[in-house]
Amino acid sequence: MKKLVLAYSGGLDTSYCLKTLSDEDYEVHAVSINTGGFSANQIKEQEKNAYTMGANTYRSINALKSFYEKIVKYLIFGNVLKNNTYPLSVSAERIVQAIEIIEYAKSIKAKFIAHGSTGAGNDQVRFDLIFQVLAPNIEIITPIRDKQLSRETEIQFLKSQGINLSWKKTQYSINQGLWGTSVGGNETLTSIQSLPDNAYPNQLIETTPKKIILSFKLGELVALNKKSGNPVNLIQQLQEIAKDYAIGRDIHVGDTIIGIKGRVGFEAAAPMIIIKAHHLLEKHTQSKWQQFQKEQMSNFYGMQLHEGNYLDAVMRDIEAFLKSSQKTVNGDVFVTLHPYRFELQGVKSPNDLMNASFGNYGEMNKAWTADDAKGFIKIISNAHKIFGTVNPLNK
């Protein structure tokens, strides 16, 4: 039999792939990669269904630590929000999922690898790019894309094979992970409609404001409300607190890898709070030009990650820069949670550049005289004067 690893999520598309490929004499090894979206019960259900549909083996790989170390950490360092909106919740996950799947395929010496992506989305690019670069000798098989199958066709086939699991299409598609949850529906296929409140996975429960403290060391989250922990657990703990305030909802509009505009809703309470808190701490602890240059590189990093170019060497260069920039990003950020929003109250940091004794903005200068200021202003005005002399404004 032909040994094949299938990226298996338990959904309709990957279930169709599992059944058809096992019927075609492939030795199918179903692998699900947990980047924060599967509970223990869901993993058990996945395993049961995988064997029902003909899997030779089933494996669930916990990739939370890998996801954080390889990607989430740098998204925080860079305060990455695609189009100033989206924390790259799903697109970031796909990169790590692809890497974990290909490593597993290599470990069992599989000759084939399959995924359930369609030909109309970004994920086909992300998966194929990673697979082709890391394992060019492993053949990629994509039944849904190649056959251009409809959802109804897939369901009918599985029913004809005696597989009657519930694949009732819900009104909204939800994709949950450590770094946020995407929400798709009929409204996101339009340019004018917003998602209704009930489309989001978490509803407003708490209405009383809550104060929290986020502590950072070298740019990484190290404590929540003064209780230390590893970053993954702290992100999850913050999400549990903030989700009850229905924080972090928005709709992202952007350019897909395949050239068309796309629109997706998302809910990312913990990611949005962490990114904004981290950014505020940087404003207090980094130089002006550190912040300026980092913003340019972070935008580029987020774009390349979104488009699947994670393995390009420039990404490691940017990660080195981002890590270096975090040497002074230490301290506490004080945040207040409210229904649907949060406030950044302030920071306390040993590296706070506002604590320097040079003066207080708009109040008093201590390190220069009035004559120093006048001379400084006169010199920096020279460029404007020269340009205005050569190019008079009244021409």
Whether the CA torsion 275, 276, 281, 285 is positive or negative: it is: positive
Q: Compute CA distances 345 → 85, 96, 160, 203, 353, whole Å.
A: 21, 34, 60, 25, 17
The structure tokens listed for 165 are: 């699991």
Answer yes or no: is 297 within a domain.
no
Return the pLDDT at 274: 98
- Beta strands 26-34; 57-62: pairing state: parallel
Do 53 and 21 contact (CB within 8 A), yes or no? no
Return the pLDDT at 121: 86
Same-domain check for residues 133 and 52: yes
Same-domain check for residues 10 and 100: yes
Total-model pTM: 0.93
Return the pLDDT at 314: 98
Domain count, the chain: 3
Nearest to 79 by CA among 326, 347, 377: 326
pLDDT tens digits, 344-382 = 999 999 999 998 776 666 667 778 888 999 999 999 999
The proportion of the chain whose per-residue pLDDT surpasses 90, expressed as a percent, equals 83
Do 154 and 16 contact (CB within 8 A), yes or no? yes
Same-domain check for residues 280 and 343: yes
Same-domain check for residues 241 and 335: yes
Same-domain check for residues 43 and 137: yes
Return the pLDDT at 151: 85
Domain encompassing residue 364: 358-390
Quickly count: other Cβ atoms within 10 Å of residue 108's Cβ: 13
Nearest to 101 by CA among 140, 50, 71: 140
Same-domain check for residues 10 and 118: yes
Return the pLDDT at 395: 60
Return the pLDDT at 298: 97
* DSSP-based three-state secondary structure for 54: coil
Answer yes or no: is 311 within a domain.
no
**Tokens 């989001």 sit on residue:** 200
Largest CA distance in the chain: 89
Mean pLDDT of the chain: 94
Residues 6+ apart with CB under 8 A from 304: 310, 312, 314, 315
pLDDT tens digits, 168-210 = 766 888 889 999 999 999 999 999 999 999 999 999 999 999 9
* CATH assignment at residue 265: 3.90.1260.10
Same-domain check for residues 53 and 191: no
Same-domain check for residues 56 and 37: yes
- What is the Cα 156 distance to its own chain's centre? 35
Same-domain check for residues 75 and 208: no
Give the Cα separation of 383 and 389 in Å (integer). Answer: 10
Answer yes or no: is 310 within a domain.
no
Answer yes or no: is 100 within a domain.
yes
Radius of gyration over every alpha carbon of the chain, rounded to an integer in angstroms? 25
What is the average per-residue pLDDT within 206-221?
98
Nearest to 26 by CA among 65, 57, 67, 69: 57
Residues 6+ apart with CB under 8 A from 1: 25, 26, 27
**The pLDDT of residue 164 is above 90:** no
* CATH assignment at residue 122: 3.40.50.620
Answer yes or no: is 313 within a domain.
no
- Beta strands 180-184; 112-114: pairing state: unpaired
Answer yes or no: is 341 within a domain.
yes
Return the pLDDT at 37: 84
Question: Which DSSP string corresponds to 230-264?
Answer: -HHHHHHHHHHHHGGGT-SEEEEEEE-TTSSEEEE
**What is the band of 166 on the pLDDT scale with cuts at 50, 70, 90?**
confident
Answer yes or no: is 353 within a domain.
no
Same-domain check for residues 15 and 137: yes
Answer yes or no: is 298 within a domain.
no
Strand ordering across the sheet containing 57-62:
57-62, 26-34, 2-7, 112-114, 139-141
The structure tokens listed for 348 are: 């306390």
pLDDT tens digits, 278-319 = 999 999 999 999 999 999 999 999 999 999 999 999 999 999
Give the Cα separation of 19 and 21 in Å (integer). Answer: 6
Return the pLDDT at 170: 67
Same-domain check for residues 207 and 79: no
Give the Cα separation of 87 and 84 in Å (integer). Answer: 9
The structure tokens listed for 116 are: 């359930």
Return the pLDDT at 49: 94
Same-domain check for residues 28 and 130: yes
